[in-house]
Amino acid sequence: MIRVLIILTCLALVSLHAQEPATDSTNRPVLKALPIGGDDDITSQPLPDEVVSMPEETTAVVADETNETPAASTIDEPAEIANPPSAAASNAKPEGLEALRLQVFLDKSDFGPGVIDGRMGQFSELAVRSWNEVNGHPLDDWSAVTVAAKSAVPEPLVTVTVPNVATKWVNPSLPTKRSLQASAKRMSYRSIAEFMAERYHSDVPYLTELNAGVKIQKLKPGDSLIVPNVAPFEIEKLTGAKYEADAALSERHVVVNTKINQARIFEAAPAALVVDESEADTAPVPKTKANRALVASFPITPGKPQFIKFGTWKLLNMIELPYWRYDQQLLDTGKRSAKAINIPPGPNSPVGIIWNGTSRPGIGMHGTSDPETIGRARSAGCIRLANWDAIRLPNLIRPGATVEIR
């Protein structure tokens, strides 16, 4: 996805009934979506140095795009990701196909490793630490999670077919000027390669690496492609839904850590345990205690330091396929004008494919047009996630949940 070269505002107007954007949207109502500050900051920031890395092995699989469960047939392993001997029994970080296997496992477990590319970067390391925390292992342990990945993900690669629906979500001629984008039917992908990369939680360079000899930029429906074996992000299934409160999910708590660029989702706090003091003095101290309250974690991009609003807020709304309000005067002066335009929904919208607004005006969690910049480029105010992670939020939290930014 392209990087937008201007600092845009997160102040958005979101569709009150965000329908499938393929229909005429001229008179559709919009809803103020709260955010302050744009989401396309081009200032690339290095990731913090406060974290760790990951494990390794080989094999690949073939699956049909229409079926999330891969078929049993195998394919040759791409030469680019050949591995050294397995180090699963040690505490070594994986490389090659074993690194990919671990990323796929973490992604399937809702501990997002960021862009899946077979490389153990900081977000993969953070995801391992989250998994270890939940399962009661030392945070810097690699052996347990590597063994679990080997068991759960026998085939980290699958071969899929480019679906026919891709053409409905791709527009190579999508304008880059906001004034022209306002007239577009939707903020589409600009290529089938981009469509397939986001569908499988990856990026175009990695798909190119996996598919030597394939002309990635000339893909068409029916073509075969080797991809990471994750549950695909099926954008065609989005309906513009508005999610309501839920008895259990609305009680959950999100902690957005702006120092390590990670959002962590917890169950509601359990009732305090009453312990007799005499028993507490003699009770053995466990070496490592599993934190079952942690249910998911994902990489994020926070706002610029001057725009971050630290504190605890309530999640107010969750809307798929939001419209985005673009106001140049607001960008230049901080004051609203009557000349704002509405940018249509779509994967290349600066707020991505879902908006999750909080009770703090100007702050929300949402998707992005540039997943490869998560954690590496500041937004002006909001909390950005990759679209494939952002769309999971309604299954993990609902309006009423608390969002703590620290």
Amino acid at residue number 79: A
pLDDT at 37: 36
Confidence of residue 140 (pLDDT cuts 50, 70, 90): very high
Residues in CB range of 144: below 8 A, 6 or more apart = 132, 135, 137
How many Cβ atoms from other residues are within 10 Å of residue 20's Cβ?
14
Q: Which domain holds residue 17?
A: 13-46+240-272+288-405
Q: For residue 318, tell me if it sits in a domain.
A: yes
Q: Is residue 154 part of a domain?
A: no
Q: What pLDDT score does 302 carry?
A: 86
Low-confidence winner among 36-50, 99-113, 183-197, 244-258 (lowest mean pLDDT): 36-50
Q: Is 375 within the bounds of a domain?
A: yes
Most confident stretch, 80-94, 97-111, 171-185: 97-111
SS (H, E, C) 357-388: EECCCCCEEECCCCHHHCCCECECCCEECCHH
For the segment 164-206, what is each residue's pLDDT rounded down to a tens digit? 999 999 999 999 999 999 999 999 999 999 999 999 999 999 9
Mean pLDDT of all residues belonging to the chain = 79
Residue 327 is predicted with a pLDDT of: 80
Q: Could you tell me the pTM of the whole model?
A: 0.76
Pairing of strands 402-405, 253-257: parallel
Return the percentage of the chain with pLDDT > 90, whole number. Answer: 61
Write the pLDDT tens digit of every residue in 345-367: 999 998 999 999 999 887 899 99
Give the three-state DSSP class for 74. strand
Hey, what are 123's tokens? 């977000």
Residue 204 lies in a domain: no
Whether 165 is in a domain gets the answer no
pLDDT value at 374 more than 50: yes
pLDDT the model gives residue 382:
84
- pLDDT for position 248: 96
Res. 308 pLDDT band, cuts 50 70 90: confident
Indicate whether 99 belongs to any domain.
Answer: no
CA separation for the pair 349, 367 (Å, rounded): 8
Number of folded domains that form the chain: 1
| Of residues 221 and 335, more confidently modeled | 221
Residue pair 342/325 in contact (Cβ under 8 Å)? The answer is: yes
Residue 189 lies in a domain: no
Q: Tokens 């974690």 appear where? A: 297
For residue 379, tell me if it sits in a domain: yes
Residue 320: give its domain's CATH number. Answer: 2.40.440.10
Q: Over 80: is that where the pLDDT of 59 sits?
A: no
Cβ burial 371-404 (10 Å sphere, 16+ → b, else e): bbbbbbbbbbbbbbbbbbbbbbbbeebbbbbbbb
